[in-house]
Amino acid sequence: MVVRTGRCFLRPLNEADNLLPLAWDEGGPWNFLLELHRLGETACALVGFFERREERREATFPALATAGLVITRDCVAPLVRDTPIEWIIALRKQGSISVPEKERDDFLATLLCCPNLPPLRVPEELRYEEVELPLHPHLTISKARVPVPE
């Protein structure tokens, strides 16, 4: 709400005397996604990026990404609800996570077990299908065991 009033500014790091006015970005919310890229025959890399409709930006494009907001040098836009901010922080610091080709399958299996994993895109040869098995409820009823007095 403050951004829409024209009274919100960004002070970039190392620019103590510079205040940049921020405007509200009406383009809709940004999604944060992960993508596994092949790096030739010897390695692969996990990268993060922001996406909305046809726009795609590297994980480092915003000046700041917080729970719920993406802030650039000139505007503020919403971030899709429940986006795991830990992944954004990690990939902004590291840029990417490189993995030797021989460890790729184990790395992918570990990734898929991570809680709060953002949407993940992989090369065609690594495509997987998510299968949810139907639940089979099971109830066991037994008599309560009452100790027999001696």
pLDDT in tens, 63-108: 888 888 888 888 899 999 888 889 998 888 888 889 998 888 888 8
Let me know the angle formed at the C-alpha of 23 by 17 and 26, rounded to the nearest 5 degrees. 155
pLDDT digits (tens, 9 = 90+) for 11-22: 877 777 888 888
pLDDT of residue 130: 66
| Beta carbons of 24 and 30 less than 8 angstroms apart | no
pTM: 0.73
What value does the mean pLDDT take over residues 33-53?
89
- The mean of the pLDDT values for the chain is 85
